[in-house]
Amino acid sequence: MSADLGVNYRGTLDQLVRKRLRTWPQQPPGASALGPKGTWLRGRPGDPAVASHPFLKLPGSNRLRTLPDGLWLHFSPDRSEPYCDILCIEACASIQNLFDKRSRFAPSTSSLLAFCPVPWLLAPTQPGDPTPRWRLIRLLRGAPTEPLVLPVRDIRVLYGLKTRHYEGFARRQVPHPHEYFCPMEALTAERGHEDPAMRALLARASAAASFFQLP
């Protein structure tokens, strides 16, 4: 495959994955949260009519941004302890693409920040519901005039791989604790969020899965 064809293939694949993820609910299927229930919202992919959408960044950086194919944020319900937990989904068309995306989520001594732009906070949560997102986030007392920037407390990443890459990785590699993997078909399938296997996988993609039972 030529370099140009490879880029075109990745672009087409990314577009299909984002199209499917746009039909997923505001709370990831099967996902849970550690501690008091806050608010789950889908940050990416979003409504193309909205000017900007949430992204991830390092403190002090205004250029190096991470824009996952899928991004869900769980906002703390406690104004005295502002944070968010995130679930990211990345479609990887090649092993090199996988290595590149894994490096963006590698453990670091720096705190990862979730940046939520004002237009996204003011926009309706979903079609047919005029409620703006900020009203669902209990950290906010009123309509925001500045972006909401929160430290990420917990991160989980689901990587979608082509079948041969997925099978090879599953046979020979050990994921990091925050990493989860699925065949690409699970992400491109219509109504894939209703698949019991996907729901079970995302139910495990949480720090809550590490406890005997939650209080």
State the alpha helices, DSSP H only, in 93-210.
95-104, 118-122, 163-172, 184-188, 196-204
Sign of CA dihedral 32, 33, 36, 41: negative
Listed in sequence order, the residues at least 6 apart from 28 whose beta carbon sits closer than 8 Å to its beta carbon are 40, 72, 87, 193, 202
Distances (CA, A) of 60 to 10, 63, 67, 110: 31, 9, 17, 10
Taking only the tens place, the pLDDT of each residue in 50-65 is: 879 999 999 888 778 8
Q: In this structure, what token pair is assigned to residue 76?
A: 């703390």
Residue 144 has pLDDT above 90, yes or no: yes
Query: Once rounded to an integer, what is the mean pLDDT over residues 99-128?
Result: 89
Q: Map residue 119 onto helix, strand or coil.
A: helix
Q: What is the pTM of this model?
A: 0.89
In this prediction, residues 155-180 reach a mean pLDDT of 92
Structure confidence at residue 9 (pLDDT): 52
- List the chain domain ranges: 3-207
**Average confidence (pLDDT) over 185-190:** 94
pLDDT digits (tens, 9 = 90+) for 20-61: 999 999 999 988 765 568 899 999 998 888 879 999 999 888
CA 17, 179, 58: angle at the middle one, nearest 5?
A: 85
DSSP label at residue 56: E
pLDDT at 210: 84
- Paired tokens of 180: 């989860």
Per-residue pLDDT band at 8 (split at 50, 70, 90): low
Angle of helix 163-172 versus helix 95-104 axis, rounded to 10: 60
**Both structure tokens of 20:** 């499917």
Instruction: Please report which confidence band the pLDDT of residue 5 belongs to, taking 50, 70 and 90 as the band edges.
Output: very low
